[in-house]
Chains A and B, each alone.
Chain A
Amino acid sequence: MHPVFSLPALRRGGAFWIGLGLLGVLCSSAVMAAPSPIQSDFDDDAVLVTLPESAPASDGARSSPEAMAREIQRLISEARRSGDPRFLGYAERLFNQQASQGLTDPLLVLRATLAQSLHRFDAARQDLETVLDRSDAPAQRTQALLTLANIEMVQGHYDRARPLCEQLTAEYPGLIASSCQAQVAARTGSAKAAYNELTAATRSLSNVSIQGYLWAQGTLGDIAAQLGRGSAAEHWQRVLSQDPDDLYTRAQLADWYLQNRKPRQALVATEGYEAVDNLAVIRAVALHRLNHPDAPALASRLRERFEEALWRGSMLHQRDLSRFELDIEQRPKDALQHAMANWDTQREPLDTRLALRAAIAAQDNTALGQVRGWLKQQNQSDARYPEES
């Protein structure tokens, strides 16, 4: 049994999530499965749960702004590495205990990064603009420029991302800035040239930092996939061989395998990452396509996950939920609703692709026209998108 949510989540419609999931589920008719029974006879020696090695914030974190920044940085990195959002809550708690006016620039940048992770893009933008207005410190400016450019890119505001990438090139030239510019160019009609230029840059620049190298490889992978080239996988594998816990790249690679009818390789890429929602959904789709005996078990675990997320009202999982509805549950109308809600605030190729696929499956020409109209306006084409019929 799963809940019958009689009303879709109310949306504000703009680029803002309703106070992070503080939206109660709106149905008095919801049918929830009865809670699992209380089990009092558990064994003394049984290991019930293994705690994560990384501890939540210690109280010493508030001794100085530097200590607090280090602690928050650690928590955000842990959340990114593991895909575990509890660490974001621990980090946010530290900010909540601190007066907002007294935050140093590094802390503001971190708060923006946290907001970005929670899809509060407007709040993130505001903090980053404050830092860019008042800070002269190169480290903070670089970080703020890059994060802001990234947010604009994710939201599909290429006109706003472009000058930020140019400014980044002026203030901190290198592969990260080149990747930034290549990404904007690729999404606005010049994918081939962008790929060639960024490839040339990776060869010509000496003294390349490992971050710059990985960033460029990730970007090259994305543009290669956009161009429909098989080399995409190689670029992404280079990133993952250095940083296996780069979940963003891992999801792109696994999805690419899935799309190119290599579900077995998608299984390999998602092996051991079932705890992370988006990788688990890709894995579930791969298992489903292979008629694997484990497919129903994973699908049912995900079903429970999404039921809880809907009850909570968390909007962070719209994309994963949409994918699940489309490819596992085969409910294209529900899939489209979540895909479009997601597409309202996030317009990366995989978001756009999902919106297109869901609109086609649901035979919704309005939604399809809306997405295609936007693509045309941006002059964006992508081999990952379903073809126009």
Chain B
Amino acid sequence: MSAKQLLAVLIMAAFAGTAFAHKASDSFLYVDMDASEVRIDIALRDLALLVPLDANGDQRITGQELRAQRTLATQAVENGITLTGEQGVCKLRGQAWGLSAHSDGPYLATQYRIDCSNGELPKQIEYTLLFDQDSLHRGLVQITSGETRSLTVLSPEKPVVDLTGGATGAWDTFGTFLYEGIVHLLMGLDHMLFLLVLVLPATLIIRRQSNQTPTHSFKSRLLQLAGIVTAFTVAHSITLALSALNIVRLPIAWVETVIAFSIAAAALNVVWPFLGRKTWKLAFAFGLIHGFGFASVLGDLTGGVSNLAIALAGFNLGVEFGQLGLLIIGFPLLYALAHVRVYQRFIVPLILMGVGIISLMWVAERAGSI
């Protein structure tokens, strides 16, 4: 037996004899940014969906049958993967072709040199192989660049991944989550209502004090309110981080019910300060609860994010900016209204009642799903 034959037997022994695990279909893509190489491993079973591997129809694929379809197999792989550089699509130059092993059996492995124009590095990889055959198929990507190796996943919903990573990636992440934070605050009615209720007592105090220090109070109140809002942000940042890092985990149905309840309590507190007049302390305490609520939103967004800390920071700052922005626009309006007589007698009670009713309705609705 020649050394080559022996090796072939050993390889087969590694494959045979074990029942291969059943798993959802994955391909493996190894991108080496230093050597500008990419390797794609696709399960033979999946490849058989794209290329007629089983020539004699006996459900068994032999080495010969695979070799016979090498051209078609290579084409299929190359059609499913696109690497792009600054100047457009990069060329793939075949380097190696053969079998490899993963937990569910043998794979066809193909290695390429990535040739982009001007010798630059590829910027992104797009992958569409097999998504039309199996919607649960995924491309598992490992990107090696210098000392760092990162893992990510390509899916029908997200078939493109950025290969450059590093500084720009971190800034992109930060920017994206900053934006998401602002959007979330502006879209989330419960947080807006909570903010409104926190702001209201300050406008009332202003009205009472306006006789003595009418010009001074607007600016100082605005600053004080910014403090209240910041206390809220600091508090929810803490719990959001605890929750996102999976250190503390609370059932979301409970959290959302308590959030709704906290809004009602804050509204009641304006009329009857059973929780005290120190609004910033109230904001801090309730901020702790609201942070767990933000975590559920953030969890939906962080799929595939490689730097959670940056994402968290961006999101928190975004929420803070959103709040301060609202305050800058909203507070002068309320402050102006506060000088109208009906404000304190009708508008404020009406707002408080409205907020109270809405939030209690939320309580009932959300408690139902506990």
Q: Which residues of A contact B (CB under 8 A)?
A: 3, 7-14, 18-32, 35-53, 56, 82-86, 88-90, 92-93, 96, 118, 272, 274-277, 280, 297, 301, 304-305, 308-309, 311-314, 316, 337, 340, 344
Cβ distance A259 to chain B, nearest Cβ, rounded Å: 24
- Expressed in whole angstroms, the Cα–Cα distance for A329 and B282 within the complex equals 46
Which residue in chain B gives the minimum CB-CB distance to A43?
Answer: B8
Name the A residues within 8 Å of B250 (CB-CB). Answer: 13
Tell which of B132, B153, B245 touches A312, judged by Cβ atoms closer than 8 Å.
Answer: B153
Which residue in chain A gives the minimum CB-CB distance to B244?
Answer: A10
Tell which of A56, A88, A276, A308 touches B140, judged by Cβ atoms closer than 8 Å.
Answer: A308
Cβ distance B299 to chain A, nearest Cβ, rounded Å: 4
Q: Is the CB of A11 within 8 A of B26?
A: no
Q: Is the CB of B96 within 8 A of A312?
A: no
Contacts A11-B249, A48-B61, A56-B134; is A39 near B11 (CB within 8 Å)? Answer: yes
Cβ distance A313 to chain B, nearest Cβ, rounded Å: 6
Q: Is the CB of B8 within 8 A of A275?
A: no
Query: How many residues does chain B have at the interface if contact means C-beta atoms less than 8 Å apart?
Result: 89
Nearest 8 A/B pairs, CB to CB = A89-B136, A24-B304, A40-B98, A89-B134, A14-B252, A44-B64, A84-B22, A23-B303
- Expressed in whole angstroms, the Cα–Cα distance for A280 and B19 within the complex equals 10
- Expressed in whole angstroms, the Cα–Cα distance for A41 and B140 within the complex equals 26
Tell which of B23, B28, B96, B252 touches A309, judged by Cβ atoms closer than 8 Å.
Answer: B23
24 A–B contacts from the bound complex (CB under 8 Å): A7-B245, A8-B246, A13-B295, A21-B153, A23-B153, A24-B153, A35-B100, A38-B96, A38-B97, A38-B100, A39-B99, A41-B4, A43-B12, A46-B8, A47-B61, A48-B61, A50-B61, A51-B59, A84-B22, A85-B22, A90-B134, A275-B20, A301-B103, A312-B153
Q: Is the CB of B134 within 8 A of A41?
A: no
Cβ distance B3 to chain A, nearest Cβ, rounded Å: 9
Q: Is the CB of B307 within 8 A of A36?
A: no
Tell which of A19, A36, A52 has the most Cβ of chain B within 10 Å. Answer: A36
- Main secondary structure, interface of B, reads mixed
Name the A residues within 8 Å of B296 (CB-CB). Answer: 12-14
Q: Is the CB of B246 within 8 A of A11?
A: yes
Name the A residues within 8 Å of B299 (CB-CB). Answer: 10-13, 18
Q: Is the CB of B100 within 8 A of A36?
A: yes
Name the B residues within 8 Å of A297 (CB-CB). Answer: 18
Cβ distance A284 to chain B, nearest Cβ, rounded Å: 12
Name the A residues within 8 Å of B106 (CB-CB). Answer: 48-49
Which residue in chain A gives the minimum CB-CB distance to B43?
Answer: A49
Which residue in chain B gives the minimum CB-CB distance to A274?
Answer: B19
Contacts A274-B18, A337-B246; is A36 near B102 (CB within 8 Å)? Answer: yes
Tell which of B61, B96, B133 touches A93, judged by Cβ atoms closer than 8 Å.
Answer: B133
Name the A residues within 8 Å of B303 (CB-CB). Answer: 10, 18-19, 22-24, 313
Q: Is the CB of A46 within 8 A of B62?
A: yes
Name the A residues within 8 Å of B137 (CB-CB). Answer: 89
Q: Is the CB of B249 within 8 A of A13?
A: yes
Tell which of B23, B104, B148, B152 has the most Cβ of chain A within 10 Å. Answer: B23
Which residue in chain A gives the minimum CB-CB distance to B8?
Answer: A43
Contacts A48-B44, A49-B45; is A42 near B8 (CB within 8 Å)? Answer: yes
Tell which of A8, A40, A118, A308 has the most Cβ of chain B within 10 Å. Answer: A308
Q: Is the CB of A53 within 8 A of B64?
A: no
Tell which of B19, B250, B292 has the most Cβ of chain A within 10 Å. Answer: B19
Name the B residues within 8 Å of A40 (CB-CB). Answer: 96-99
Q: Is the CB of B26 within 8 A of A308?
A: yes
Q: Is the CB of B63 within 8 A of A30?
A: no
- Expressed in whole angstroms, the Cα–Cα distance for A301 and B142 within the complex equals 21
- Expressed in whole angstroms, the Cα–Cα distance for A52 and B304 within the complex equals 32
B128 within 8 A of A: no
Which residue in chain A gives the minimum CB-CB distance to B99?
Answer: A39
B41 within 8 A of A: yes
Which residue in chain A gives the minimum CB-CB distance to B143?
Answer: A28
Name the A residues within 8 Å of B45 (CB-CB). Answer: 49, 51-52, 86
Q: Is the CB of B22 within 8 A of A46?
A: no
Contact with A along B62-100 (1 / 0, CB 8 A): 111011000000000000000000000000000011111
Cβ distance A51 to chain B, nearest Cβ, rounded Å: 5
Q: Is the CB of A32 within 8 A of B151?
A: yes
B54 within 8 A of A: yes
Contacts A22-B303, A41-B4; is A13 near B251 (CB within 8 Å)? Answer: yes
- Expressed in whole angstroms, the Cα–Cα distance for A82 and B135 within the complex equals 19
B279 within 8 A of A: no
- Expressed in whole angstroms, the Cα–Cα distance for A83 and B104 within the complex equals 13
Q: Is the CB of B8 within 8 A of A88?
A: no
Cβ distance B306 to chain A, nearest Cβ, rounded Å: 5
Tell which of A28, A84, A93, A311 touches B307, judged by Cβ atoms closer than 8 Å.
Answer: A28
Q: Is the CB of A280 within 8 A of B21?
A: yes
Name the B residues within 8 Å of A308 (CB-CB). Answer: 23, 26, 102-103, 140
B124 within 8 A of A: no
Q: Is the CB of B306 within 8 A of A45?
A: no
Tell which of A7, A37, A38, A118 has the most Cβ of chain B within 10 Å. Answer: A38
- Expressed in whole angstroms, the Cα–Cα distance for A82 and B23 within the complex equals 11
Cβ distance B368 to chain A, nearest Cβ, rounded Å: 11
B191 within 8 A of A: no
Q: Is the CB of A51 within 8 A of B48?
A: yes
Q: Is the CB of A31 within 8 A of B140?
A: no
Given A11-B299, A39-B99, A40-B98, 16 more pairs with CB closer than 8 A: A7-B245, A12-B299, A13-B251, A13-B296, A27-B151, A29-B148, A30-B149, A38-B98, A40-B96, A44-B67, A46-B8, A53-B59, A276-B22, A308-B140, A309-B23, A337-B246
